Structure 1
Amino acid sequence: MQPRPKTDLVYCLRILKAIGKVNLYALGYDDPFVFFKANDQKDFNACLLQLLHIREQVSRISEDTKSCYTHIPWQTIKALRNVVAPDYVGIDKLVVFATITEHIPVFKSAMERVIQTELKRGNFNQTEYDMSKQSNFYRHIDFTTID
């Protein structure tokens, strides 16, 4: 089997890093309206930025990799930008909160499995992965859930 493009591992790790930040910023909130208003909307806005970052990284993952994981709603994730960016003022706080609390945990698990599987198949570079675990850049990733 042909190895996946070298950058796919990087994009997957960047997604997990962004998810880690979303989880950090949304920690402790169980009400979408409290979350929206908290800290003068800093936590909410920070999560929106990370959701957009996730979308951008998803759009960079190769079609070869995406085609192996058809259970992941790649197109839906890419479409998130269309919800957040064009009408930021009118953004649906309930949709954002549901995305963070319901969909992000499922997507996180799926991305961890992608990395696990592709490492085992030899399609992702193990040395690059091991080096990433030591990098401060990826400090928001819980690598124990992947290993």
Structure 2
Amino acid sequence: MRPERLYLIDIVEAADAIARFLADVDEETSMQDELRQRAVLQKVVVIGEAAARLPAEFKSRHPEIPWPDIVAFRNIAVHEYFAVDWRIVWITATQEVPELRRRILFLLEKIGDD
């Protein structure tokens, strides 16, 4: 099994990519850029996939991270693709992902090289 630390790093790297994709872009511009939307959504899916692969025991030790919500968003993006609300993707990418990144970095510091 892959170490938890690597999944957490995957989350941080995907969050960093989202930040790059949306640097200096407002919501209106993003909504008109299909390629950018799809790129952001793919990285949100990566975040959800990494969260889903973390062991339940690990997630239960770190309830400060909304693991079920992260995985649920991934499931909607993958299985209900045509129901994706791009405004929710925007909010997720610009508000929730940066906060998640901050929390994951804190968690990485806390767990060290375990």
TM-score in terms of structure 2 length: 0.90
Aligned residue pair count: 114
Secondary structure of 2:79 counterpart: coil
Q: 2:16 is aligned with what amino acid?
A: G
- CA distance in 2 between counterparts of 1:89 and 1:36 reads 15
Q: 2:105 is aligned with what amino acid?
A: E
Q: 1:110 is aligned with what amino acid?
A: R
1:15 is aligned, of 8, 11, 17, to: 11
Query: Which residue of the partner structure matches residue 128 of structure 1?
Result: none
Query: Which residue of the partner structure matches residue 34 of structure 1?
Result: 29
Query: How far did residue 103 of structure 1 move?
Result: 0.4
Query: How far did residue 112 of structure 1 move?
Result: 0.3
Q: Which has the larger radius of gyration?
A: 1
Within the alignment, does 1:50 sit opposite 2:50 as a pair?
no
- CA distance in 1 between counterparts of 2:9 and 2:74 reads 20
Structure number with higher helix proportion: 2
Q: Give per-residue Cα distances to partners, 1:27-73, cap 9 Å, x unaligned.
A: 11222x320212xx111101111111111110111223212211111
Within the alignment, does 1:84 sit opposite 2:77 as a pair?
yes
- CA distance in 1 between counterparts of 2:64 and 2:83 reads 30
Secondary structure of 1:85 counterpart: helix
Percent identity over the alignment is 21
Q: Which runs of 4+ in 1 moved over 6 A?
A: none
Query: Which residue of the partner structure matches residue 24 of structure 1?
Result: 20
Within the alignment, does 1:70 sit opposite 2:66 as a pair?
no
Query: How far did residue 6 of structure 1 move?
Result: 6.0
Q: 1:11 is aligned with what amino acid?
A: Y
Structural RMSD (CA): 1.6
